[in-house]
Amino acid sequence: MDVGFSSLRSEAVGAVRTAMVSAENLQLTLKAELSQEEQALTHIRSNPKEAHKAGNEDLKEMLESSKESLKLEAMKRIVGLIAKGKNASELFPAVVKNVASKNIEDPNQFIRASALRVLSSIRVPIIVPIMMLAIKEAAADLSPYVRKTSAHAIQKLFSLDADQKEQLIEVIEKLLKDKSTLVAGSVVMAFEEVCPDRIDLIHKNYRKLCNLLVDVEEWGQVVIISMLTRYARTQFTSPWKEGAMFDENNEKAFYESDSEEKKGHTEEKPYIMDPDHRLLLRNTKPLLQSRNTAVVMSVAQLYWHLAPKHEVSIVTKSLVRLLRSHREVQYIVLQNIATMSIQRKGMFEPFMKSFYVRSTDATHIKTLKLEILTNLANEANISTILREFQTYVKSQDKAFAAATIQAIGRCATNISEVTDTCLNGLVLLLSNRDETVVAESVVVIKKLLQTQPTQHSEIIKHMAKLFDNITVPMARASILWLIGEYCERVPKIAPDVLRKMAKSFTAEEDIVKLQTVNLAAKLYLTNSKQTKLLTQYILNLGKYDQNYDIRDRTRFIRQLIVPSEKSGALNKYARRILLAPKPAPVLESSFKDRDRFQLGTLSHSLNSKATGYQELSDWPAVAPDQSVRNVEIIEASGSDSEEESSESEKTSSDSGKSSSGSEQSSSESELEQKKKKKTKKVPQKKSKPTAADRYSEIPAVCWSLRASFFFPVTTSSFGPVKTYELLHHMTGKGLAAKYHFPRQPCLYQPSMVAVQVILSNSSDHSLEEIHIGDRSPASLSIHCFNTIERLEPEASVTVSMGIDFSDSTQAANFQLCTKEDQFSVSIQPAVGELLMPSSMTEQDFCKEQGKLQGMNETSATITMETANASSQAISKQVLSVANVGVVSSSQNNFSRFAGRTVSSGALVLVSLELKESSTALLTINTEKTVMASMLLRDIKQALTQA
Amino acid sequence: MIHSLFLINHSGDIFLEKHWKSVISRSVCDYFFEVKEKAVDPENVPPVLQTPHHYLISIYRGKLFFLSVVQTEVPPLFVIEFLHRVADTFQDYFGECSEGVIKDNLVTVYELLEEMLDNGFPLATESNVLKEMIRPPNILRSVVNTLTGGSNVGDTLPTGQLSNVPWRRAGVKYTNNEAYFDVVEEIDAILDKSGTTVFAEIQGVVEACVRLTGMPDLTLSFMNPRLLDDMSFHPCVRFKRWESERVLSFIPPDGNFTLMTYHVSSQNLVAIPVYVKQNINFFETGSCGRLDITIGPKQNMGKTVEGLMVTIHMPKVVLSANLTATQGNYTYDLTTKVLVWDIGKLNPQKLPNLRGSLSMQAGAPKPEENPSLNIDLKIQQLAISGLKVSRLDMYGEKYKPFKGVKYLTKAGKFQVRT
């Protein structure tokens, strides 16, 4: 009997799923057009011989029947009808009533959910009431999956009948209280669609949403994060109001904030971040590591719009990572970086090279990268960028080459040091073979000359000479304008150019004609003796031109410059009008105004307001009541306990209606679960990992933070990296150097140890030509870093070098030189850094150890600090002093490590046998006995101290 | 959110459409076609377009355009990411993502699309969950289905959908328990004419194939996790343990999946496994040019470089190439102007060389810029960053699984400017 029942059940499921497809197609048949979907169905299911009976009465009867099998048969036949494109809409109510709505009460949650999906997919006004009922019922369902479906249905009903808004908001309000991660994303989506302005509904759920966030499915995360961004901007005060300190464009202030904060701004009323604001920032941060690019982007925009300025840069790495993704992802991410990099160069400057263009990039990707590189240009990096641009100018993609020229122009105006270099470079491009390149260069030169009108007559002359060979109208027009504007600097050439133009006037493009008229007018005013006749000739030609703009302009110019009785007052000022000093054009980024849109949005991408775009409000001057977010369950006494309350709210399931505990129950046993639920609380402890396991815990502490607080760095390396001083800035006349061992194989030579040196300039002038000079002993083999041409004040740079220590701890002495000075420095390696980890099995280890007995073995009994007694702690301590690999061990009281010396590749085996009461036998086997004793000392020291 | 989806092939035919809300006429695609016409290359079509009443967001994958129509504000990456998931799912189900395959599996495709979005909002995108609901096609089942009228649609809610490990289904059983990890690193680099590295970085990915019974809890640790600079994880990885201990702790999905992707700090020097000596000249007169390329080993940590291949996009004026290769074969595609030199294994004793002449269109000016070389290569059993897996532990299950790690280094976007 049981078997029979379950088979019937599974057929019913099938029917529902078929109905789902059919429901959609039922309405499609109302349209004359046969959609692709139907065609597909027809293709597969149609049976051309079966004729369509006049009435569908029999089908209706079958649907009304109480037998499942008859209903199923009826549904199959209906699908058949639809597949043939027959109108089956009259059967609609019967289907809804008997199939879909019945299934809404099915004990199987999957069937209930599917039934609701079917029902809500029917976009026919008659069923609005039924749908409303079904949604309300489903919203109170025990299964979170069904509740999720009801959240989806809300949007469908709303688009069908907007009058239901009020009722739907009630359902949304109820579902927002839901504690299931499954529901959260969907209900927020419904909220965004139906009532995005009802921010009051969020208050009570704010903390819960923040806490659930990491566990919500990825698509829901995007929706919730974007909603919370808007919410936060209405509820919290600005974290940016540190006076002028955090002015958006003030990069210096940004870097110095730490020290100056303490000195200068202590007397100001400190800004204290609302703990809820901090909660949101903390809980979204781990999502930067999501594999979903949309999630990463949404967290990045949240930080951009909500985080204190100095914290925003934690998103940089993740955004740069996204550039490895698909082309389309790159496009969107680059657009956002372009907007960000205008305001915050510092964020992306270290990653400048990630924006270098490849010849295989799509044109729009290239242009965006170029845009970003231009935004990042500053005095320090401009030479690198210009060198890179030189490659781009030669690109086969001419549109891109032209964009590069524009970019060079922008760099030239923004950074005055390189204006002349850029200008000369552009002039050279004027003899380029490609017309687009020449034209673009002319246009850019024109703009540049305008910003620097002095002593550039040579360039203007040069351009006048090239004029005959240039055919691109925009370029010709630009040259004419330049000659006209600065005609007094080229008094000989200007009239001659005008003469040529008079000859070719009729054949020119409109834009060139307009500039010719302009040039004629300006010359008439400055040099009427030579050009009076020419001007009159040109004005006459213009008077009868086909284009009305040119006729207009000609008439206007004639009135202005040629004195007559009518012209009157204006005529006196003609010179001042035409030859007025003109403000130089500002060459600026096309992403300049993009920041009016929220980052990551469609509107931002299009640079125009998309339908349904929700404006991000300004921070309120005074924070609205914070207590609205308190949850009533526990009497909130202070913010600390509030935090806890929302925490406990998350973990403890209240035994009421909602059933977060039953989430993982399989659908079949759900009925039993229901009974259980009524009598007792479902214990929350699960063997499976919970969210808290997967992501960092949310501390119950309330963060009241000053701006000087720096966010912990996301990716602090495992184990502390010890940094040693190489050169103090006092002895180095401003040059300071530190080094550490990155413990990676050295690229130059396997026998070398890799060393990273961080050079920084703490003087007030830039240091030049930093390089490595003489070394001692002379035989010491060092792979030097490339000479650093220039290190700006306050800047620092990390370089890699390789040193062959020949497996001895003897110091490597060498000279660190700048252009003026030489400083003797030395790197003395700890013995543990002369090793490379080696992976081997326990058997191999024992075998090798057997070979290295006698004088090759050094051992000592040590007494360890109790905190170090666990095998994990031992590993940590040993690895901190020596670059060795852990050998997996089957014995609990043994810890083994293996490595090889970098230079000669001799094995170094470290084993530690734990004895009673935290004593241990430390043994080192290696043929390098000197190293063994030193290593023994170092490890012993590490393990005996806390 | 997502209103409709159109699949468009290379020649501009719409061969599939799916609407999640009301039907939108396919004429909306005309705006897209207009832009596509203007773009030289399909890759140059901007992914986001605006039409008077709709917004079109598209991706280009496997010579197909996935064009979605949206009507209101939505994060564009949301749609793009989703479209790529759709393409990934097709690939996963049918082995490839092409017009032919999609047309052959139209029913399954519609079932998938129906399940992946509800009213335009993503519902089930996790491959494990989908596969429980809609079984991937195989011949036997399709025969049975044709005879019995059954479908590929499962009839229970996938367990994953409700559990808090949605990526893993319950009741997995294998007779051979095995876990394989592939550490694959790609070198992205730009080298300039003289061979100096302009830019280089390493992108790595740990691909896993885990077939283990029950609910195993795995911990994967690295010899030198310090190398890793920035990473993204499969949702199964416990982020907190990574933060504190630098180990990957996770309950794996069943089958193939990407465990993590990582980036090796650009501050560290990147080993460039080969050097390229090249000389490409176009002469002012005589409409011809010369090409001479030699490749040799550089920093390859003593391993053999395999699968070496050089691709050059020649300037439009190059008509043909008359070259001799000391090793491997070369082809020159006259229509796309792409020169491919397939070398194979790099022999350090006898360096491969390709030289000869290029003939150009008569009378055309000589190209200004030399084309850059794109290099492909593979090095087995080496992760070029030096990353090494040190151990894999399993908790929660009693049996002893077989564990394996493989390393591979490839060239990513590896370009030599000339």
Q: A298 contacts in B (CB within 8 Å)?
A: 75
pLDDT band of A248, cuts 50, 70, 90: very low
**Beta-carbon neighbour count of residue A97 at 10 Å?**
14
More confident call, A46 vs B252? B252
CA A890 to chain centre: 45
Phi, psi of B324 (to 5 degrees): -125, 135
The pLDDT of residue B14 is above 70: yes
Closest approach of A737 to chain B, Cα-based (Å): 16
Q: How far apart are the first and last CA of chain B?
A: 46
Region A840-864: what's the mean pLDDT? Answer: 84
Mutate to test the interface with A, among B61, B67, B77 (most CBs of A within 10 A): B77
Q: Which helix (H) or strand (E) holds B111?
A: helix B106-116
Lowest mean pLDDT segment, chosen from A19-33, A207-221, A884-898, B74-88: A19-33
pLDDT band of B68, cuts 50, 70, 90: very high
The reply to whether residue B237 touches residue A388, judged by beta carbons under 8 angstroms, is no
Lowest mean pLDDT segment, chosen from A41-55, A524-538, A755-769, B171-185: A41-55
Region A228-254: what's the mean pLDDT? Answer: 66
Say which residue the tokens 């043929």 belong to. A927
Check CB contact of B311 with chain A, cutoff 8 Å. no
CA A30 to chain centre: 45
B 50-69: CB under 8 A from A: 50, 55, 58-61
Cis peptide before B253 (omega within 30 of 0): no
The pLDDT of residue A371 is above 80: yes
H-helix segments, A265-326 = 275-284, 293-306, 316-322
Mutate to test the interface with B, among A187, A214, A328 (most CBs of B within 10 A): A328
User: What percentage of chain B reaches a pLDDT higher than 70?
Assistant: 92
pLDDT at residue A648, rounded to an integer: 39
pLDDT band of A612, cuts 50, 70, 90: confident
The reply to whether residue B47 touches residue A328, judged by beta carbons under 8 angstroms, is yes
SS3 at position B59: strand
More confident call, A596 vs A301? A301
pLDDT at residue A713, rounded to an integer: 28
The reply to whether residue B230 touches residue A321, judged by beta carbons under 8 angstroms, is yes
Q: What is the pLDDT of residues A542-597, one digit of tens each?
A: 999 899 999 999 998 888 887 776 656 777 788 888 888 777 777 777 788 888 89
Query: Taking a C-beta distance cutoff of 8 angstroms, is the pair B408, B206 a contact?
Result: no
Ranked by mean pLDDT, which of A390-399, A458-467, B371-380 comes out on top?
B371-380
Alpha-carbon span B290 to B358, nearest angstrom: 6
Q: How far apart are the first and last CA of chain A?
A: 70
Closest approach of A391 to chain B, Cα-based (Å): 9
Region A419-427: what's the mean pLDDT? Answer: 82
The pLDDT of residue A674 is above 60: no
Per-residue burial over A403-421, b if 16 or more Cβ lie within 10 Å, else e, is bbbbbbbbbbbbbeebbeb
Average pLDDT, chain B: 85
Q: Which of A28, A321, A603 has the CB atom closest to B23's CB atom?
A: A28
pLDDT band of A243, cuts 50, 70, 90: very low
Please spell the DSSP secondary structure of B282-304, one letter per residue: E-SSSSEEEEEEEEEE-S-TTPP
Alpha-carbon span B184 to B277, nearest angstrom: 27
Residue A824: burial class (beta carbons within 10 Å; 0-12, 13-18, 19+): middle
**Chain B residue with Cα closest to A885:** B223
pLDDT at residue A647, rounded to an integer: 38
The pLDDT of residue A741 is above 50: yes
Strand locations in B62-132 (E): 64-70, 117-118, 121-122
At position B383, the amino acid (one-letter code) is A
Give the count of alpha carbons within 13 A of A943, CB side only.
30
Alpha-carbon span B5 to B24, nearest angstrom: 10
ipTM for the assembly: 0.87
The reply to whether residue A715 touches residue B229, judged by beta carbons under 8 angstroms, is yes
Check CB contact of A298 with chain B, cutoff 8 Å. yes
**Chain A residue with Cα closest to B65:** A328
The pLDDT of residue A903 is above 90: no
**Apex B257 CA angle, B255 and B262, nearest 5:** 155
A 31-90: CB under 8 A from B: 31, 33, 35-37, 40, 43-44
Cα–Cα distance list, B54 to A121, B69, B71, B82, B192 (Å): 22, 7, 5, 18, 44
Per-residue burial over A465-504, b if 16 or more Cβ lie within 10 Å, else e, is ebbeebebbebbbbbbbbbbbbbebbeebbbebbeebbee
Q: What is the pLDDT of residues A448-499, one digit of tens each?
A: 877 766 667 778 888 888 888 888 888 888 888 888 888 888 888 888 888 9
Query: Taking a C-beta distance cutoff of 8 angstroms, is the pair B47, B80 a contact?
Result: yes
Closest approach of B350 to chain A, Cα-based (Å): 23
Q: B239 contacts in A (CB within 8 Å)?
A: 286, 289, 694-696
A 479-518: CB under 8 A from B: none
Check CB contact of B408 with chain A, cutoff 8 Å. no
Biggest CA-to-CA distance, chain B = 77
Query: Taking a C-beta distance cutoff of 8 angstroms, is the pair B385, A744 a contact?
Result: yes
Ranked by mean pLDDT, which of A714-728, B119-133, B271-285 comes out on top?
B271-285
Region A915-941: what's the mean pLDDT? Answer: 85
Contacts for A842-849 with beta carbons within 8 Å, 24 or more apart?
A: A842/A887, A842/A888, A842/A889, A842/A890, A842/A896, A845/A887, A845/A896, A845/A898, A845/A909, A845/A911, A848/A898, A848/A907, A848/A909, A848/A925, A849/A909, A849/A911, A849/A925
Q: Which of A121, A332, A606 has the CB atom closest to B50's CB atom?
A: A606
The pLDDT of residue B48 is above 90: yes
Closest approach of B388 to chain A, Cα-based (Å): 9
For chain B, the residue count is 418
Question: Tokens for A534?
Answer: 């020419």
More confident call, A780 vs A269? A780
For chain A, the residue count is 946
Biggest CA-to-CA distance, chain A = 119
pLDDT at residue A568, rounded to an integer: 67
Phi, psi of A921 (to 5 degrees): -100, 115
Q: B186 has which bridge partners?
A: B203, B410
Check CB contact of A103 with chain B, cutoff 8 Å. no
Mutate to test the interface with B, among A26, A33, A36, A842 (most CBs of B within 10 A): A36
For chains A and B, count residue pairs whose Cβ atoms are closer than 8 Å: 308
Q: What is the pLDDT of residues A688-735, one digit of tens each?
A: 443 333 333 333 222 322 222 222 322 233 455 778 888 888 888 888
More confident call, B139 vs B247? B247
Region A833-843: what's the mean pLDDT? Answer: 83
Lowest mean pLDDT segment, chosen from A228-237, A264-273, A428-437, A642-651: A642-651
The pLDDT of residue B147 is above 60: no
Alpha-carbon span A134 to A129, nearest angstrom: 9
The pLDDT of residue A294 is above 90: yes
pLDDT band of B260, cuts 50, 70, 90: very high
pLDDT band of B153, cuts 50, 70, 90: low
**Chain A residue with Cα closest to B122:** A219
pLDDT band of B309, cuts 50, 70, 90: very high
pLDDT band of A782, cuts 50, 70, 90: confident
At a CB cut-off of 8 Å and minimum separation 6, what does A639 contact? A275, A702
Q: Which helix (H) or strand (E) holds A75?
A: helix A68-83
Q: What is the pLDDT of residues A494-518, one digit of tens each?
A: 888 889 888 998 888 898 999 999 8
Pick from A900, A874, A871: which is nearest to A885 by CA? Answer: A900
The pLDDT of residue B81 is above 90: yes
Q: Which of B18, B80, B390 has the CB atom closest to A886's CB atom?
A: B390
Per-residue burial over A917-944, b if 16 or more Cβ lie within 10 Å, else e, is ebebebbbbbebeebbebbbebbbebbe
The reply to whether residue A354 touches residue B266, judged by beta carbons under 8 angstroms, is yes
Pick from B98, B384, B156, B344: which is nearest to A670 by CA? Answer: B156
Query: Taking a C-beta distance cutoff of 8 angstroms, is the pair A106, A114 a contact?
Result: no
Query: Taking a C-beta distance cutoff of 8 angstroms, is the pair B205, B262 a contact?
Result: yes
**Apex A50 CA angle, A45 and A56, nearest 5:** 100
Mutate to test the interface with B, among A668, A686, A694, A746 (most CBs of B within 10 A): A694
Q: Which of A28, A145, A189 has the CB atom closest to B157's CB atom?
A: A145
User: What percentage of chain B reaches a pLDDT higher than 90?
Assistant: 22
Alpha-carbon span A897 to A872, nearest angstrom: 13
Cα dihedral: A652, A655, A659, A662 (round 10): 80
Q: B395 contacts in A (CB within 8 Å)?
A: none
Pick from A312, A408, A398: which is nearest to A363 by CA? Answer: A398
The pLDDT of residue B2 is above 70: yes
Q: B259 contacts in A (CB within 8 Å)?
A: none
SS3 at position B67: strand
H-helix segments, A669-809 = 670-679, 691-694
Check CB contact of B35 with chain A, cutoff 8 Å. no
SS3 at position B190: strand
Q: Which of A18, A44, A888 has the CB atom closest to B391's CB atom?
A: A888
pLDDT band of A358, cuts 50, 70, 90: confident
- CA A780, A785, A791, A796 dihedral sign is negative
Cα–Cα distance list, A191 to A185, A601, B15 (Å): 10, 18, 35
Q: Which of B59, B313, B390 has the CB atom closest to A328's CB atom?
A: B59
SS3 at position B253: coil
More confident call, A523 vs A718? A523
The reply to whether residue A145 touches residue B159, judged by beta carbons under 8 angstroms, is no
Average pLDDT, chain A: 76
pLDDT at residue B139, rounded to an integer: 59
- CA B149, B150, B153, B157 dihedral sign is positive
H-helix segments, A544-696 = 548-561, 569-572, 574-578, 602-606, 639-651, 670-679, 691-694
Alpha-carbon span B411 to A531, nearest angstrom: 65
Please spell the DSSP secondary structure of A415-456, one letter per residue: -GGGHHHHHHHHHHHTT-S-HHHHHHHHHHHHHHHHHS-TT-
pLDDT at residue B148, rounded to an integer: 58
Q: What is the pLDDT of residues A129-179, one digit of tens each?
A: 888 888 888 888 888 888 888 898 898 888 888 888 888 898 999 898 888
Alpha-carbon span A180 to A185, nearest angstrom: 10
More confident call, A639 vs A485? A485
Say which residue the tokens 């700048």 belong to. A818
Alpha-carbon span A24 to B20, nearest angstrom: 9
SS3 at position A601: coil
pLDDT at residue A946, rounded to an integer: 60
